[in-house]
Amino acid sequence: MHIVGRTSQGNEAIAGYQVKGGKPGSAGGWKNLKFDDIISAEIDERASLAPRPDYNPDHPQFPEKYARL
């Protein structure tokens, strides 16, 4: 997880890099996930690569940030 906050649409969400899981056929990568849509999460033993090179701590879709990496 890299940003936790409120999106420009008013949703509380996280911007994070998804390494596995998700909808069948969906690729990993950057995802904006609304809290209401998150079904499950798990701790992964892999080392974090955060922050990733394309991480933007000032992401414009998150005008209100509660926390960021």
Q: Which amino acid is at 34?
A: K
| pLDDT at position 12 | 96
DSSP 8-state code for residue 57: T
pTM (2 d.p.): 0.74
Burial of 3 (0-12, 13-18, 19+ CB in 10 A): buried
Residue 61 clears pLDDT 80, i.e. is over it: yes
Token pair 């000032």 in the structure block, residue = 58
- Inter-residue contact 56 to 69 (CB < 8 Å): no
| pLDDT at position 44 | 78
